[in-house]
């Protein structure tokens, strides 16, 4: 184990603290008679394999000097290092000690301002660095232990699950480094429950033993979360918390939602009765213990805790306790939204899926293909590859698909052939796109023209907006068809029926039933072509109420249309989005190819 060096930091801290105490006097600081000779309790040591503290050597001192000076020093230089334990006495920091001597011989008043700034920056930097080192150490330990114990689980070794600490903390230190007041520092340091780079650290004493996360309240889960990741979370989703904690404890993202147990940092798939019993018996005890053991002393070495660690996490079992109402009512802060949404809703496999699976097996045994029927009904399950574009008779369409490689992924994108100068019905549309290759930009323009405010995410549907600007009904329908075609060619779904309907029906013509069934192509049971006005209403509804408020939109914009359910609206919107995405891709492809051709010639 490489020795870790932070030693010079001690001198820096002491020195700057010295000067800082002077500036601190300007602030109404709480007066305290006690002066401590060594105000900084910052252990600059490394911990060797046995957990003993080893004083820093001069080399380490030098190394730390560099690290401190280098503002954004990479943590990789200390990645494989031992553990550093340290703590800073806040009271002592804030009060300072007037009778400390300035080792440089300068007067305190001269240096106070500069040094206080330096001090703030450095003290915070050190905190950040400590945090990093500890995380590294924790990761290293857990990985090593797992390797050592060698469970037979199938968990994937993932890098650190908890996000990097330094994001917020470094920003914070940057922001506060210049103007952090004493009281601010006190507040930060004293609030052990808030996100502070100094106090927040993974606390293994709190997550050792067996914990049944199911029985923990949100608050307790938050405690455990902090103990696991060394940082706070405000997520109120119990399942999310439990999964995250389980992930952290197992160092794996392969955490099922049901029926799993974690022991020794790994997931075991089966539960012995004895363990279940153990879990039930120990849980309350451990929870209490956990609450008591906060901020234990420095010699409570994580190494020891880890070695004794026998984590037993069970997310299964009884249904989770219903969260308290007020807990759920709190809205999730923006900083956690990504994590929140990252926790995708898990669904158990649908009945159809299971059926199909079993049917596959059956087919394999008796040699009969069940899928042949199914794919007949749901031809969209075929990939575009398998079902190449067919001309549906609308000769205005020049949409083909072609293989394009974007970012290494061979995406098959619809491709609108652009014959410049060719007089084609959708010239307006094409020329518009030519002028505004960026889909969102076009959508914005159109949106502004319509006087509708659509959010960025919603503005993706270029074509549905674009067609609104087209002058003639015919063009609108064509463009609408084009959008549909885009979608169809993209999803591999052939709906020539719909295209023909679009071509013939005007606005809200309910002649669906009179429309003859397309030759050779079976239509869906209750298919109704989407008319332009419907799409327009849908788009406006989404722009007004937001995507997802389908029932609202249905109620307001599609009240009389009993045949458009909210699900239909949702589906249509999804299709529009897909189509617009395809358009965007196609447009990029065209630009790219044009650019490429130009360079060649």
Partner DNA sequence: CTTAGGG
Partner DNA sequence: CCCTAAG
CA angle 537, 540, 546 (to 5 degrees): 120
What is the radius of gyration, based on Cα positions, of the chain?
A: 32
- Binding span for DNA by CB under 7 A among 5-13, 94-102, 341-349, 463-471: 341-349
Q: Which of 114, 317, 356 is nearest to 213 (CA)?
A: 317
Shortest separation between residue 341's beta carbon and DNA, angstroms: 9
Distance in Å, CB of 510 to DNA, minimum: 12
Q: Of 144, 149, 143, 147, which is closest to residue 161 (Cα–Cα)?
A: 143
Closest contact distance (angstroms) between CB of 519 and DNA is 19
Residues 147-166 that bind DNA (CB under 7 A): none
Q: According to the binding rule CB under 7 A, does residue 525 interact with DNA?
A: yes
318 counts as binding DNA under rule CB under 7 A = no
Q: Which of residues 227-246 bind DNA (CB under 7 A)?
A: 239
Nearer to DNA, 150 or 548 (CB): 548
| Residues 579, 520: Cα–Cα separation, whole Å | 25
Q: How far apart (Å, rounded) are the C-alpha atoms in residues 477 and 501?
A: 10
Of 432 and 550, nearer to DNA (C-beta) is 550
Could you say which DSSP state residue 335 is in? G
Per CB under 7 A, which region of 127-135, 175-183, 473-481, 566-574 contacts DNA? 566-574
Q: Using the rule CB under 7 A, give the single segment among 5-13, 349-357, 401-409, 419-427 that binds DNA.
A: 349-357
Closest by CA to 586, choosing from 389, 418, 388, is 418
Q: Which region among 18-26, 208-216, 276-284, 518-526 touches DNA (by CB under 7 A)?
A: 518-526
Does residue 563 touch DNA according to CB under 7 A? Answer: yes
Determine the interface stretch with DNA among 352-360, 383-391, 427-435, 590-598 (rule: CB under 7 A).
352-360
CA distance 237 to 328: 8
Q: How far is the CB of 553 from DNA (least distance, A)?
A: 8
Using the contact rule CB under 7 A, the part of the chain among 97-105, 125-133, 157-165, 561-569 near DNA is: 561-569
- Which residue has tokens 């000779």? 37
Give residues with Cβ within 8 angstroms of 179, minimum separation 6: none
| Nearest in space to 574 (alpha carbons), one of 501, 441, 494, 483 | 483
By CB under 7 A, name the one of 48, 65, 276, 552 that touches DNA. 552
User: Which residues, numbered 435-494, are part of the site for DNA (CB under 7 A)?
Assistant: none
165 three-class SS: coil
Looking at beta carbons only, is 285 or 522 nearer to DNA? 522
Give the one residue of 52, 149, 352, 385 binding DNA; rule: CB under 7 A: 352
Examine residue 544 and tell whether it contacts DNA (CB under 7 A). no
Residue that is written with structure tokens 């549909």 in the block:
484
According to DSSP, the residues that pair with 124 across neighbouring strands are none
Q: Three-state secondary structure along 337-367?
A: HHHHHHCCCCCCCCHHHHHHHHHHHHHHHHC
Task: For 543-558, give the DSSP string.
Answer: HHH-TT-HHHHHHHHS
> Binding to DNA by residue 342, rule CB under 7 A?
no
321 binds DNA (CB under 7 A): no
Alpha helices in 150-292, H assignment, sequence order:
166-176, 182-190, 218-229, 238-250, 273-292
260 binds DNA (CB under 7 A): no
Task: Assess 548 for contact with DNA (CB under 7 A).
Answer: yes
Return the range that interacts with DNA (CB under 7 A); candidates 18-26, 99-107, 480-488, 521-529. 521-529
User: Site mask, DNA, residues 372-401, x = CB under 7 A?
Assistant: ------x-xx--------------------
Distance in angstroms (rounded) separating the CA atoms of residues 301 and 303: 5
CA 9/CA 136 separation, integer angstroms: 20
SS3 330: coil
Query: Minimum Å distance from CB 226 to DNA?
Result: 24
Q: Say which residue the tokens 């029906």 belong to.
A: 505
From residue 65, give the alpha-carbon distance in Å to each of 6, 11, 58, 125.
8, 10, 11, 12
Burial 330-356 (b: 16+ CB within 10 A, else e): eebeebbeebbeeeeeeeeeeeeeeeb
Which one, 161 or 512, has the nearer CB to DNA?
512
- Please, which residue, 120 or 575, has the CB nearer to DNA? 575
C-beta closer to DNA: residue 187 or 370: 370
- Choice from 363, 418, 424, 527 touching DNA (CB under 7 A): 527
Report if residue 566 touches DNA, rule: CB under 7 A: yes
The reply to whether 524 sits near DNA by the rule CB under 7 A is yes
Q: Is residue 348 a contact point for DNA (CB under 7 A)?
A: yes
Q: Which residues 48-87 are close enough to bind DNA by CB under 7 A?
A: none
| CA geometry: angle 533, 537, 543, nearest 5 deg | 145
Of 244-252, 260-268, 347-355, 588-596, the window that binds DNA (rule: CB under 7 A) is 347-355
Interface stretch with DNA, choices 42-50, 61-69, 343-351, 397-405 (CB under 7 A): 343-351
Contacting residues toward DNA, per CB under 7 A = 239, 344-348, 350-353, 356, 378, 380-381, 524-528, 530, 547-552, 554, 563-564, 566-568, 570-572, 574-575
């Amino acid at each position: 184990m490489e020795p870790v060096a932070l030693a010079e930091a001690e001198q820096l801290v002491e020195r700057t603290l010295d000067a800082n105490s002077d500036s601190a006097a300007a602030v109404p600081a709480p007066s305290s008679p006690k002066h401590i000779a060594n105000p900084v309790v910052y252990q600059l040591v490394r911990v060797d394999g046995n957990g003993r503290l080893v004083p820093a050597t001069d080399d380490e001192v030098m190394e730390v000097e560099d690290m401190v000076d280098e503002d954004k020093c990479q943590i990789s230089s200390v990645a494989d290092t031992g553990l550093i334990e340290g703590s800073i006495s806040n009271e002592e920091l804030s009060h300072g000690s007037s009778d400390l001597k300035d080792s440089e011989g300068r007067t305190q008043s001269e240096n106070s301002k500069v040094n206080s700034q330096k001090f703030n920056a450095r003290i915070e930097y050190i905190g950040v660095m400590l945090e990093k080192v500890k995380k590294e150490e924790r990761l290293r330990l857990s990985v090593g232990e797992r390797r050592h114990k060698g469970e037979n689980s199938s968990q994937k070794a993932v890098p650190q699950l908890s996000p990097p600490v330094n994001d917020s903390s470094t920003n914070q230190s940057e922001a506060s480094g210049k103007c952090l007041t004493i009281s601010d520092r006190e507040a930060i340091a004293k609030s052990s429950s808030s996100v502070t780079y100094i106090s927040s650290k993974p606390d293994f004493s709190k997550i050792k033993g067996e914990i049944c996360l199911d029985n923990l309240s949100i608050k307790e889960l938050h405690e455990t979360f902090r103990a696991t990741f060394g940082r706070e979370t405000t997520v109120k989703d119990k399942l999310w918390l439990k999964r995250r904690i389980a992930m952290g404890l197992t160092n794996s993202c392969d955490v099922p939602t049901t029926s799993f147990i974690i022991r020794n940092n790994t997931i075991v798939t089966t539960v012995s009765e004895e363990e279940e019993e153990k879990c039930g018996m120990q849980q309350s005890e451990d929870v209490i213990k956990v609450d008591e053991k906060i901020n234990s002393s420095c010699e409570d070495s994580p190494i020891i805790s880890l070695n004794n660690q026998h984590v037993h996490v069970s997310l299964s079992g009884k249904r989770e306790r219903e969260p308290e109402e007020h807990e759920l009512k709190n809205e999730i802060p923006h900083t956690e939204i990504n994590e929140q949404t990252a926790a995708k809703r898990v669904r158990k496999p649908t009945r159809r899926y299971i059926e199909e699976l079993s049917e596959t097996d059956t087919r394999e045994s008796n040699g009969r293909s069940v899928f042949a029927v199914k794919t007949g009904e749901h031809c969209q399950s075929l990939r575009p590859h398998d079902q190449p574009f067919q001309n549906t008779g609308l000769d205005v369409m020049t949409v083909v698909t072609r293989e394009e490689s974007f970012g290494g992924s061979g995406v098959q994108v619809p491709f609108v052939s652009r014959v410049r100068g060719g007089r084609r019905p959708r010239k307006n549309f094409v020329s518009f796109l030519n002028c505004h290759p960026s889909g969102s930009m076009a959508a914005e323009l159109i949106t502004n023209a319509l006087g509708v405010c659509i959010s960025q995410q919603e503005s993706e549907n270029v074509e549905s907006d674009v067609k609104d600007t087209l002058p003639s009904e015919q063009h609108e329908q064509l463009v609408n068809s084009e959008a549909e075609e885009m979608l169809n060619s993209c999803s591999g779904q052939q709906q020539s029926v719909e295209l023909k309907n679009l071509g013939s029906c005007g606005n809200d013509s309910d002649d669906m039933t009179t429309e003859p069934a397309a030759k050779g192509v079976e239509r869906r049971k209750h298919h109704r072509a989407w008319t332009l006005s419907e799409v327009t209403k849908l788009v406006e509804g989404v722009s007004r109420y937001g995507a997802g408020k389908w029932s609202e939109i249905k109620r307001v914009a599609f009240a009389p249309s009993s045949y458009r359910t909210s699900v239909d609206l949702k589906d249509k919107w999804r299709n529009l989005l897909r189509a617009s995405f395809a358009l965007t891709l196609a447009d990029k492809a065209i630009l790219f190819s044009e650019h490429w051709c130009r360079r060649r010639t």
